[in-house]
Amino acid sequence: YAMAAQAYLHRFGGTRVDLAEVAVLAREWALLNPKAFRHEAGALTVDDVTGSTMISSPLAAGDCCLVTDGGGAVVLTTRERARDLPRPAVRVLGYGEATSHASMVACDDILDTGAAQSAARAYARAGLTPADIDVVQVYDSFTITVLLSLEALGLAAPGEAADLVRSTDVRPGGRLPLNTTGGGLSYCHTGRYGMFALLESVYQLRGKAGARQVPDLNVSIAHGPGRQFAAAGTVIMGNTL
């Protein structure tokens, strides 16, 4: 991940500040989530992140996800059965998965991941485009993961994800809320954070997310890369059956 981050900053002329803004954003959402591991830690600054212990340049401790306990589960059923359930159900509109390479040494471009393919398949199955997405949940194993994922999902042009993260668009009250739990950087990380991206999509679409609830939303996207960007999965959900 550090190699990918280094390549990304070099290619697009970014700095460690661009990465740190991802962690700052995550903390902002975590402060609205009483279950977040860092809920009581208070606001985070760019200097806090860039000044934390260097792990593997350019990633410092503040760029790395938490290590916590936790768990989650989802139940899948038919649309007909879901209509009879006591709680509002969420519909899987589309999904996609992809594997682009076997290992880092086997890829031609470390920034060319399978995520764009998984996202394209999910959009195609859902009959939607990035413009239809109301809320985004992406696996933030490291700050660089978020920037690459936003671009692969078509929510930012190549090299422009950092600008999106710095904007008010992805923050509380913005047009495209991002990682509304606080993510793996400030909420929790049990080793398989993708489950929590799915769960938060469900909570948001049900209108059950408490203080972090996004108003008037219809479509959520959950996305997770894995195996050093070699594999990816994307799920698009909606709140209408």
Alpha carbon 163 to its chain's center: 16
Alpha helices in the chain (DSSP H): 2-12, 16-30, 46-50, 79-82, 115-126, 143-152, 161-166, 183-186, 194-206
Q: How far apart are CA 136 and CA 115, in angstroms?
A: 14
Per-residue pLDDT, 74: 93
pLDDT score of 91 more than 80 = yes
Question: Amino acid letter at 41?
Answer: A
pLDDT at position 161: 97
Mean pLDDT, rounded, for 12-23: 98
Structure tokens at 224: 């997770």
Beta strand 91-99 pairing with 231-238: antiparallel
In this structure, what token pair is assigned to residue 98? 């992809």
SS3 108: coil
Query: Is the CA virtual torsion 35, 37, 192, 142 positive or negative?
Result: positive
DSSP three-state, residue 158: coil
Q: How far apart are CA 150 and CA 120, in angstroms?
A: 13
The Cα–Cα gap between 43 and 169 comes to 19
Residue 106 above 80 pLDDT? no
The catalytic residue positions are 139, 187
pLDDT at 66 over 90: yes
Q: How confident is the model at residue 105 (pLDDT cuts 50, 70, 90)?
A: confident
Average pLDDT value for residue range 71-81:
93
Query: What whole-number percentage of the chain has pLDDT above 70?
Result: 100
- Identify which of 70, 73, 48 has the alpha carbon closest to the alpha carbon of residue 61: 48
Q: What is the pLDDT of residue 100?
A: 80
What pTM was estimated for this model as a whole? 0.95
Q: What is the length of the chain?
A: 241
Cβ atoms of residues 134 and 217 within 8 Å:
yes
**What are the angstrom distances between the C-alpha of 143 and each of 46, 65, 119, 126, 132?**
12, 8, 20, 28, 25
